[in-house]
Amino acid sequence: EAIYEFEVQDMPVTVAVDSTGTSVHNTGPKEWAAKIESLKNIPVTVA
């Protein structure tokens, strides 16, 4: 992974990409949505 910083007209932007150029801003939310979805089958009891 690498973090690159670009300056865009008075607004610094940080973009995180892996070694193939894939942005973690795209893959991260999808990965966590799948993890959260898999937790829906865990039983919860109220004490």
In this predicted model, what pLDDT tens digit does every residue of 1-47 receive, in sequence order? 678 877 667 776 677 888 888 888 889 899 999 988 888 888 888 88
CB 21 within 8 A of CB 1: no
Tokens 């089958």 -> residue: 41
Residues 6+ apart with CB under 8 A from 14: 3, 4, 5
Q: Look at residue 26 in the predicted model and tell me its pLDDT.
A: 86
- In a domain, residue 8? The reply is yes
Domain that holds residue 7: 2-41
- In a domain, residue 30? The reply is yes
- In a domain, residue 6? The reply is yes
Q: Look at residue 13 in the predicted model and tell me its pLDDT.
A: 67
| pTM beyond cutoff 0.75 | no
- In a domain, residue 47? The reply is no
- The domain total for the chain is 1
- Here the tokens at position 15 are 């973009």
| 3-class state of residue 35 by DSSP | helix
32 vs 38: CA distance, rounded Å: 10
- In a domain, residue 28? The reply is yes
